Amino acid sequence: MPAVGRDGLTKTDREQIRSWAQEQGIEVKPRGQLKHDLISNYRAWAKRVGSGTATA
């Protein structure tokens, strides 16, 4: 089971969210904890497009 950080995300989850944010033109730091609203926006987007990568 992958390690989960303080934000409740795995390293892969964080990489996917950072990649998505860059595609959307959102500036994010390359390291560190992601903002809660960024995570929420990614999950909402993933639900809308039917992506299986969104985590609860």
Parse the chain into domains and list their residue ranges.
11-49
Give the whole-angstrom CA distance, residue 5 versus residue 10.
Answer: 6
Q: What is the number of alpha carbons within 13 Å of residue 41 lying toward its C-beta? A: 11
What integer pLDDT is reported at residue 18 of this predicted model?
95
Crossing angle of the two packed helices 11-23 and 36-49, in degrees rounded to 10? 80
Q: What tens digit of pLDDT does each residue of 1-56 get?
A: 678 888 888 999 999 999 999 999 999 888 777 889 999 999 999 999 986 555 54
> What's the rounded Cα separation, in Å, for the pair 6 and 44?
21
pLDDT, residue 51, reads: 60
pTM equals: 0.75
| pLDDT reported for residue 33 | 77
